[in-house]
Amino acid sequence: MKIYLIRHGQCDSNVIGRYNFFDEDINEVGIKQAEELREEIKNINYDIVISSPMIRALHTAEIINVRNKKIITDERLQERNPGSLEGKSTKSTDREEFWNYYTNVKYGTEEEVPHLCNRIKEFLDELKTKNYERVLIVAHSGVSKAFYVYFNGIPKDGKMLNLGLKNIEVKEYELY
């Protein structure tokens, strides 16, 4: 099965560098990004679109769904929950440490990286049992980091900060 993992279009929290788990939509730039991506992927003959239920991902999925295929949502594709960091600047943490798989540092009540990776593993292991040839998945930067770990393993130093997709970036994976 071929997977096309797509990060949602830009939202305001991406621009200002704020931790967000609230249901924020994509902004005008994000809409334009999704419209441009729709043109780029129009020749992909995908079977289904699976999206995070968060509005920024779901709105992106709706825009890029050029083939009008069924869109389903899966809670496991939600962004990493920042817990008590919600709404705070990303500069309030050491981002390298915040995205270190092996860290013992807690900034508040944020979801731990291994938990995020485990829920993505569960999602992908279940997806293997489905009879799809090509799947578009629309999610988040943190989710894309967990996808990286699933397909490539945990980096030796545990550092995952720079493994995530940029807004509207697409990464192809083969799921066996």
| Phi, psi at 2, each rounded to 5° | -100, 130
Written in H, E and C, the secondary structure of 83-142 is HHHCCCEHHHCCHHHHCECCCCCCCCCCCCHHHHHHHHHHHHHHHCCCCCCEEEEEECHH
Using the 8-state DSSP alphabet, how is residue 2 labeled?
Answer: E
One pLDDT digit (tens) per residue for the chain, 176 residues: 999 999 999 999 999 999 998 889 999 999 999 999 999 999 999 999 999 999 999 999 999 999 999 999 999 999 999 999 999 999 999 999 999 999 999 999 999 999 999 999 999 999 999 999 999 999 999 999 999 999 999 999 999 999 999 999 999 999 99
Contact 101, 154 (CB under 8 A): yes
Q: How many CA atoms lie within 13 A of 101 on its CB side?
A: 19
CATH, residue 146: 3.40.50.1240
Look at residue 109 and give its three-state secondary structure.
coil
Q: What is the pLDDT of residue 22?
A: 85
Hey, what are 1's tokens? 């099965």
Q: How many domains does the chain have?
A: 1
For the full predicted model, state whether its pTM sits above 0.95: yes
In 3D space, the residue among 149, 154, 80, 76 whose CA is nearest the CA of residue 110 turns out to be: 80
Contact 17, 108 (CB under 8 A): no
Location of structure tokens 């929290």: 13
The whole domain housing 34 covers 2-174
